[in-house]
Amino acid sequence: MAALDLVKELIAFDTTSRGSNLALIDYAQALLEQAGARCRRSYDATGKKANLFATLGPDGDGGFVLSGHTDVVPVDGQDWSSDPFKPEVRGGLLYGRGACDMKGFVGTALHLLPQIAGAKLARPIHFALSYDEEVGCVGVKCLLDDLKAENIKPALAIIGEPTLMKIVGAHKGGAKLVTTCCGKEGHSSAPDKGANAVMMAGEFMALLESVQDELRPDTDARFDPPFSTVQATVVHGGTAVNILAKEAEVTWEYRYLPDRDPARIVARVKDRAAAEVLPKYQRRAAEAAFNTALHAHYPGLVMDEDSPAIRLARELTGANQVEAVAYGTEAGHFQNYGIPAVICGPGSIEQAHRPDEFCALSELEACEAFLRKVIAKAST
């Protein structure tokens, strides 16, 4: 099977994060075991999602991890010109949900299993396929915990997120938080006799932007934008136009420079909300409150140009420059578990999560050429 055909097979699995990924994991495991891989799974609490870790080559420590997530973001409400789960090639571009993020990399790597199986590997090549990356890098933590428990120690990891095959050695960390604004119901004709949670939410969101403004002076020019960011992304609340809302919910995120302390951002938001917004509403209703819960967090990837992962990627690509990106990946988790990581994969992040997501066929070809060099290096 050609690399393109295998990528198409993976796209055809609807692995949107809200559903199961087991059908794709079964498919990938069958290919890996056919090539002689030793496979292990780690599951989420429901048993409906799984990570897959597979090893080819000699036993023992070391080796290169080829890492990719199996889940994709939803297509709901997006205006696609073709079925997102029936991939199509048009004008040298492969269209489909996950084409670049990141089934292009995973499919290309799996396509090379016959070459890996036939190589005289001096060190192992591992595959790490995770669940729920798109909802906060959730699954990879379970995978890495399993490796730690089994004392499996790869030498480095290549994370195949879309970078246009450029070498990325740093990314911001981030988190998803939900703040519940608790008010008191009443008739909208008498706003001072209740606490309108929707209005509380509006002031809270304005405060988030103000906190981001405070962070702007602390910069790292390698990133775009060069400062840590804070913003609301989803808001829900209210039941009727003439009722003061009892509750509203603000989903927000921060993305921080990787060697900064994110706890300071959360503390600043909470302290300012308590001091600047809450007193007004508590004068109207003692029960008014802001309750913030952390739903997901992923660490940043700190630049280390001397790490074996970056040295390998530069050697195999000839790249003179190592870049930094604002989006998050699983690489920070690998680094935190003591596994040096680098990001390099086909496609552009600008196409990820959009309608008519695509990956250029030339990018898949470049990825295949790179991974063939990884196999050759593992054979020396």
DSSP assignment of 146-168, as one string? HHHHTT---SEEEE---STT--E
Q: Which of 200, 3, 37, 253 is nearest to 109 (CA)?
A: 3
Question: Is the N-terminal amide bond of 102 cis, ω within 30° of 0?
Answer: yes
> Is residue 66 within a helix (H) or strand (E), and if so which, with residue range?
strand 64-69
Question: Distance between CA atoms of 29 and 110, rounded to whole angstroms?
Answer: 10
User: From the candidates 9, 71, 132, 368, which is the catalytic residue?
Assistant: 71
Phi, psi of 262, rounded to the nearest 5 degrees: -70, -20
Question: Distance between CA atoms of 79 and 81, rounded to whole angstroms?
Answer: 7
Q: What angle do CA 30, 109, 311 make, to 5 degrees?
A: 140
Q: State yes or no: is 71 an active-site residue.
A: yes
Question: Distance between CA atoms of 191 and 279, rounded to whole angstroms?
Answer: 15
> Are 357 and 363 in contact, with CB atoms under 8 Å apart?
no
Q: How far is CA 22 from the centre of its chain?
A: 19
Q: How far is CA 165 from CA 130, 162, 176, 271, 311, in A?
A: 21, 7, 28, 42, 15
Q: State yes or no: is 133 an active-site residue.
A: yes
Q: How far is CA 66 from the centre of its chain?
A: 16
**R_g (Cα) of the chain, nearest Å:** 23
Question: Distance between CA atoms of 267 and 254, rounded to whole angstroms?
Answer: 12
Question: Distance between CA atoms of 231 and 206, rounded to whole angstroms?
Answer: 9
Question: Distance between CA atoms of 105 and 109, rounded to whole angstroms?
Answer: 6
Q: How far is CA 128 from CA 53, 68, 366, in A?
A: 5, 6, 21
> Are 133 and 139 in contact, with CB atoms under 8 Å apart?
yes
User: From the candidates 132, 133, 134, 357, which is the catalytic residue?
Assistant: 133
Catalytic positions, written as ranges: 71, 133
